[in-house]
Amino acid sequence: MSKTRTALVTGSSSGIGLATAQTLAQKGYRVMLHGLEDVEQGAAIAQRIAQETDSETHYCQADLSRLEQVDRLYSSCVEAFGGVDILVNNAGIQYTAPTAEFPPEKWDLILSVNLTAAFHASRLALPAMKNAGWGRIINIASVHGLVASANKSAYCAAKHGLVGLTKVMALEHAPDGITANAICPGWTDTPLLNQQFEHYAGEHGVSFEEAKLGLIHSKTPYPSLIPPAAIGELAAYLCSDAAAGITGAALPIDGAWTAH
Ligand SMILES: NC(=O)c1ccc[n+]([C@@H]2O[C@H](COP(=O)([O-])OP(=O)(O)OC[C@H]3O[C@@H](n4cnc5c(N)ncnc54)[C@H](O)[C@@H]3O)[C@@H](O)[C@H]2O)c1
């Protein structure tokens, strides 16, 4: 692996993205962190990772529901590193409600952050990857890119779309040394799930910790949440030369959720 390869991890101020940025920095990649946090907060996260890993890191704030801010994020990578070798489309949000009651503005926001932003970031990154003859696109999809759950219409539509987009890019760019894969996590230990745990706890009259177990067991026999670092390690593996032939895959890391 070349020490100078660079990674952009969207939504890396928290959860899976943060763990992935940390892992890639540990492996020696230069990493652009990104999130909604202001520049001071984000830069502090990037600086901590740089100190812990001895890798070069930067931070860019951008709201990925807005096209011009996706453009600005990509430009900031070009400015800092000269380009992006590894693009991890990770930023994502969740909202749950029955389809008939789903607020249209929530639908639009989820589709724009979870799917459309990944298209735009990939569209911007692919030409330089193609010129370089090497690239990695890793889309953090979800088990909900493979199967559905009630009350998650926008999320499931976006994640199924992201898996489809991944396959198209893999077909288009296999001859160019570029791989495109989706990682499909199940319940993972991040703040994204808090709203669902709180809702379950209220509905069933149980504690937050009991709600976690209740929700986990409603979908999978695996007895705990997936650690975000495990997803970072899988992403790092997909960046390795050993994984050059893995492309167009949607890889579950889900405690057998989708084995049903
Ligand atoms: N936690 C899980 O159980 C789980 C399971 C499967 C898939 N995922 C996916 O993993 C990805 C990361 O989720 P997480 O659980 O780490 O969540 P998280 O809430 O911890 O982190 C989400 C990140 O996305 C960023 N973000 C949110 N809205 C944004 C916007 N409009 N513009 C730019 N950035 C924005 C946040 O700043 C943050 O960095 C998401 O795509 C999510 O769908 C999570």
Q: Encoding tokens for residue 229? A: 């670092």
Closest ligand 1 atom to the C-alpha of 10? Answer: 34
**Contact 16 CB / ligand 1 (< 6 Å):** yes
pLDDT tens, residue by residue, 68-120: 999 999 999 999 999 999 999 999 999 999 999 999 999 999 999 999 999 99
Q: Where are the domains of the chain?
A: 6-186+226-253, 190-225
Q: Are 9 and 20 in contact (CB under 8 A)?
A: yes
What does the buried/exposed string (b/e) look like for 158-179 if buried means 16 or more CB atoms within 10 Å of the residue's CB?
Answer: bbbbbbebbbebbeebeeeebb
Q: Are 30 and 245 in contact (CB under 8 A)?
A: no
Q: Encoding tokens for residue 117? A: 């932003």
**Contact 11 CB / ligand 1 (< 6 Å):** yes
Q: What is the pLDDT of residue 4?
A: 83
User: For the chain, what is the mean pLDDT?
Assistant: 97
This prediction has a pTM of 0.97
pLDDT tens, residue by residue, 184-199: 999 999 999 999 999 9
Is the domain spanning 6-186+226-253 CATH 3.20.20.140? The answer is no
In the numeric block, the tokens 């830069």 are attached to 43
Beta strand 250-253 with 135-140 is: unpaired
29, 74, 155, 200: the catalytic one is: 155
Q: What is the pLDDT of residue 1?
A: 46
Question: 118: which residues sit within 8 A by CB, 6+ positions away?
Answer: 10, 89, 139, 162, 165
pLDDT tens, residue by residue, 112-168: 999 999 999 999 999 999 999 999 999 999 999 999 999 999 999 999 999 999 999
